[in-house]
């Protein structure tokens, strides 16, 4: 497979980030094409797909078939978050289904170097996610094997939870120590804390309920983008 998805995604984040990436967990699956269209019209640049297996997390959502469906109904890059045990068994199939990124959890694969390198070799951006309770020190040895990290700010499994500030602190520390690292923050991001998430160093903000519980997705996204701009301005400090 060529490397165009990986490079295109990383270039998108570097040139256009920080980006709001809607997490589709709470969308109306009865009207999927319209939901995607509403998000495209809102100007989003990628979709975040939460795959859960009922084993690694106590909830089960969707898998290959729905990722394939999203690929069919949208040209947006698909940011695929695998909350599954043994993700290494499914890498090729999720790439075939249309993933532009594949995130695996450090808690599911304690030695993730091999699977991350395989994802990269197959032309897809490789991400490593860390649960709120997992210490940052466990992630550091694997940084050279991934294209981005995902700092989970809720326990994975459900949308609509509160952001855990102690987990966001890990993003702050990572950003201080690794200024060039691409970082996604996932869980509990709302209009009220999006600026803080950007100040913590996020390049990608996976947002579910703050978009899907809003009656107007366009407004929800543009208000989040406004908060991102505010976070970037305050990040630089007074000139």
Q: Which residues are catalytic?
A: 50, 186
Say if residues 149 and 128 touch (Cβ distance below 8 Å). Answer: yes
Residues 155-194 that bind ligand DX5 (CB under 6 A): 156-157, 159-161, 186-189
CA–CA distance from 136 to each of 9, 139, 162, 208 (Å)? 25, 5, 20, 25
Read off the tokens for 31: 């009207």
CB of 239 to ligand DX5, least distance (A): 33
Report yes or no: 132 and 152 within 8 Å, Cβ to Cβ. Answer: yes
187 contact, one of ligand DX5, Zn ion, none, CB 5-8 Å limit per kind = ligand DX5
Find out whether 179 and 80 touch, Cβ atoms under 8 Å.
no
| Site membership for ligand DX5, residue 206 (CB under 6 A) | yes
- Regarding 24 and contact with ligand DX5 (CB under 6 A), the answer is no
| Binding pattern for the stretch 89-118 against ligand DX5, x by CB under 6 A and - elsewhere | ------------------------------
Nearer to ligand DX5, 25 or 174 (CB): 25
Ranges of beta strands (E only) in 99-188 are 101-105, 125-130, 148-152, 182-186
Q: Which is nearer to ligand DX5, 155 or 233 (CB)?
A: 155
How are beta strands 148-152 and 204-207 bridged, if at all? unpaired
Whichever of 190 and 233 has its CB closer to Zn ion, that residue is 190
Selected range binding ligand DX5 among 1-9, 118-126, 152-160, 224-232, rule: CB under 6 A: 152-160
Burial letters for 183-214: b for 16+ Cβ neighbours within 10 Å, e otherwise? bbbbbbbeeebbbbbbbbbbbbbbbbbbbbee
Q: Give the residue with the Cβ less far from ligand DX5, 117 or 169.
A: 169
Q: Give the sign of the dihedral formed by CA 129, CA 135, CA 137, CA 138.
A: negative
Sign of CA dihedral 130, 136, 138, 143: positive
> Contact residues for Zn ion (CB under 5 A)?
50, 81, 186, 206
Minimum distance between the CB of residue 236 and ligand DX5, rounded to whole angstroms? Answer: 26
Residue ranges that bind ligand DX5, judged by CB under 6 A: 23, 25, 48, 50, 81, 154, 156-157, 159-161, 186-189, 206-210
């Amino acid at each position: 497979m060529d490397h165009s998805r990986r490079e295109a995604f990383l270039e998108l984040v570097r040139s256009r980030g920080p980006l709001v990436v809607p997490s589709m967990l709470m969308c109306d699956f009865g009207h999927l094409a319209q939901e995607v269209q509403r998000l495209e019209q809102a100007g989003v640049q990628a979709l975040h797909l939460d795959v859960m297996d009922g084993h690694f997390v106590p909830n089960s959502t969707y898998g290959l078939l729905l990722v394939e469906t999203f690929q069919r109904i949208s040209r947006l890059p698909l940011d695929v978050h695998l909350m599954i045990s043994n993700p290494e068994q499914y890498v090729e199939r999720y790439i075939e289904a249309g993933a532009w990124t594949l995130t695996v959890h450090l808690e599911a694969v304690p030695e993730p170097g091999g699977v991350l390198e395989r994802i990269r070799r197959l032309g897809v951006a490789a991400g490593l996610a860390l649960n709120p309770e997992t210490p940052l020190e466990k992630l550091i040895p694997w940084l050279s094997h991934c294209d981005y990290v995902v700092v989970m700010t809720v326990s994975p499994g459900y949308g609509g939870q509160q952001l855990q500030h102690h987990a966001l602190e890990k993003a702050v520390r990572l950003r201080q120590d690794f200024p060039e690292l691409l970082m996604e923050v996932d869980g509990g991001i709302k209009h009220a804390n999006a600026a803080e998430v950007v100040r913590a160093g996020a390049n990608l903000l996976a947002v579910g309920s703050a978009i899907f519980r809003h009656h107007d997705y366009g407004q929800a996204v543009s208000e989040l983008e406004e908060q991102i701009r505010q976070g970037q301005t305050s990040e630089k400090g007074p000139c």
